[in-house]
């Protein structure tokens, strides 16, 4: 378990956050095309639109993710050349499953036994960049904290979070069915006290949206979105009530599921999370495709090809 001082926040005087209220009462047909907007809670940021989610998916699917290195100690971590994001969560919060869906490949070992991840694991994502780095960003899988974790893991994790210059944001996974636990509050307090940029992600939200293992449908998502809203609002209220110096988490709470999908190959909330990662790393710019005024010349001259600027970076 991470050996950090705990600060318990009461659920009082914290104004809850709200999902898009218009969407909660919209016709199902309208929700079908933008159901992802129901899976995030924003009060200081704006939910990504369909084009931004598509861009985020494109970046993450460009090139195969690669394991860079693993380390049990911070001092042995090589210097990075690209921005890094770290994922933290209690043991068995579903972190490995979420990262596999995020990277669209089974890179992290999944186990029902808590404490499976014992090292800091670095993955190159987004394909090779212009400088020859194997990825445009690095995704870091951290050992879980809480049950079956070890104090030395927590010490090395904090050394990395405080000392790593390439780290741009830490994503803290919270089990949507259990909410904030004391170990979560202890970690969040440490992040705030050390001014480490962080954001909350709710995992396993299919248990709220599609209870009792029911098949996912747009109608059921719309019906149970209020329950998800209440869960996010309760967590935000506890965060606001924490009497801790330092910057609060980013003003949005994302919700994800690795067990439910309304579109083939698109897991609930994953593209929202991908966009949040790109926003944190500065890779969220969508370049406009220039108009080809003399496009017919491409067929006249065999040596001409479409310019690289017509592609996403």
Tokens found for residue 87: 């994922």
pLDDT at residue number 7 = 33
pLDDT at residue number 115 = 57
Q: How many CB atoms lie within 10 A of CB 294?
A: 8
Cα Dmax for the chain: 71
List strand residue ranges (DSSP E) for 198-238, in order: 198-203
pLDDT at residue number 94 = 92
Backbone angles phi, psi at 12, to 5 degrees: -155, 140
CB neighbour list of residue 136: distance below 8 Å, 6 or more residues apart: 59, 82, 125, 126, 127, 129, 281, 283
pLDDT by residue for the chain (313 residues), tens only, comes to 444 333 333 323 333 454 443 333 444 444 455 788 889 999 999 999 999 999 999 999 999 999 999 998 999 999 999 999 999 999 889 999 999 999 999 998 776 665 566 799 999 999 999 999 999 999 999 998 876 556 676 889 999 999 999 999 999 999 999 999 999 999 999 999 999 999 999 999 999 999 988 889 999 999 999 999 999 999 999 999 999 999 999 999 999 999 999 998 899 999 999 999 999 999 999 876 554 444 333 333 333 333 333 333 3
Q: In what order do the strands lie in the sheet with 40-42?
A: 40-42, 252-255, 198-203, 167-175, 84-89, 137-141, 120-125, 66-71
Tokens found for residue 2: 């991470």
Nearest-angstrom CA–CA distance, 230 and 205: 12
pLDDT at residue number 12 = 33
pLDDT at residue number 20 = 44
For residue 96, give the nearest of 67, 117, 81, 68 by alpha carbon: 117
Sign of the Cα pseudo-torsion (111, 115, 119, 120, in order): positive
Query: Would you give the distance in Å from CA 37 to the centre of its chain?
Result: 15
Backbone angles phi, psi at 294, to 5 degrees: -120, 55
Cβ burial 235-252 (10 Å sphere, 16+ → b, else e): bbbbbbebebeeeebbeb
User: Do 205 and 253 form a contact (C-beta atoms < 8 A)?
Assistant: no
pLDDT at residue number 32 = 55
* Stated pTM of the model: 0.82
Nearest-angstrom CA–CA distance, 107 and 284: 24
For residue 253, give the nearest of 230, 228, 232, 278 by alpha carbon: 232
User: Do 99 and 139 form a contact (C-beta atoms < 8 A)?
Assistant: yes
Length of the chain: 313
pLDDT at residue number 166 = 97
Q: What angle do CA 259, 263, 269 make, to 5 degrees?
A: 55
């Amino acid at each position: 378990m991470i050996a950090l001082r705990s600060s318990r926040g009461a659920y009082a005087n914290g104004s809850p956050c709200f999902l898009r209220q218009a969407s909660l009462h919209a016709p199902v047909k309208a929700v079908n095309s933008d159901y992802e907007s129901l899976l995030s809670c924003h009060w200081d940021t704006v939910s990504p639109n369909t084009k931004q989610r598509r861009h985020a998916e494109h970046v993450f699917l460009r090139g195969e993710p690669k394991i860079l290195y693993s380390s049990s100690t911070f001092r042995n971590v090589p210097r990075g050349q690209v921005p890094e994001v770290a994922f933290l969560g209690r043991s068995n919060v579903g972190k490995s499953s979420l990262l596999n869906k995020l990277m669209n490949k089974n890179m992290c070992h999944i186990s029902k036994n808590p404490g499976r991840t014992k090292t800091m694991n670095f993955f190159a994502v987004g394909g090779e960049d212009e400088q020859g780095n194997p990825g445009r960003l690095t995704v870091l899988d951290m050992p879980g904290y809480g049950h079956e974790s070890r104090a030395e893991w927590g010490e090395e994790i904090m050394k990395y979070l405080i000392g790593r210059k390439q780290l741009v944001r830490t994503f803290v996974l919270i089990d949507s069915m259990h909410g904030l636990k004391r170990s979560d509050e202890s970690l969040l307090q440490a992040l705030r006290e050390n001014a480490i940029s962080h954001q909350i992600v709710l995992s396993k939200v299919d248990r709220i949206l599609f209870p009792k293992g029911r098949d996912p449908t747009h109608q059921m998502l719309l019906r149970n979105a209020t329950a998800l809203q209440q869960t996010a609002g309760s967590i935000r209220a506890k965060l606001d009530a924490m009497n801790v110096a330092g910057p609060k988490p980013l003003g949005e709470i994302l919700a994800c599921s690795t067990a439910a999908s309304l579109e083939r190959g698109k897991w609930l909330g994953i593209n929202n999370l991908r966009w949040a990662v790109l926003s944190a790393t500065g890779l969220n710019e969508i370049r406009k495709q220039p108009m080809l005024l003399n496009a017919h010349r491409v067929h006249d001259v065999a040596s001409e090809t479409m310019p690289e600027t017509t592609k996403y970076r």
